[in-house]
Amino acid sequence: MAKMTVITERCKGCGLCVTACPKKIVSLQKEKRNKKGYFYAECTDMDACIGCAMCAMMCPDCAIVIEK
């Protein structure tokens, strides 16, 4: 049981978290943008999240919080 939270207004949509996720459950929004206009990252299958925090470690903007 783990939870990934993206602080969407801090996300710049760079996609580094997408490549870092070992479970391949992080992707960038294709329709919704944040206020700055970025397609932000989100977890597509929270049940599969193992809370490894690799996405957060790769995030250059400290936009991801992990709970476990």
Partner 1 sequence: MAVVFERPKALLDVPFHYCPGCTHGIVHRLVAEVLDEMGIEGETVGVCPVGCSVMAYDYFGCDMIEAPHGRAPAVATGVKRTNPDKFVFTYQGDGDLAAIGTAETVHSATRGENIVVIFINNTIYGMTGGQMAPTTLPGQVTQTTPFGRDPQLAGYPVRVCEMLSTLTGTAYAERVAVDSVPHIREAKKAIRKAFETQKNKKGFSIVEVLSTCPTNWGLTPVEALKRLQDEMIPYYPLGVYKDTTAEEGNK
Contact status: 68 vs partner 1 (CB under 8 A): yes
In the chain, which residue ranges form alpha helices assigned H by DSSP? 16-20, 54-58
Q: Which amino acid is at 68?
A: K
Contact status: 3 vs partner 1 (CB under 8 A): yes
CB of 1 to partner 1, least distance (A): 7
Contact status: 15 vs partner 1 (CB under 8 A): yes
Question: In degrees, to the nearest 5, what angle opens at C-alpha 24 toward C-alphas 18 and 29?
Answer: 50
Single residue of 26, 41, 43, 59 touching partner 1 by CB under 8 A: 59
Q: Which amino acid is at 67?
A: E
CB of 47 to partner 1, least distance (A): 14
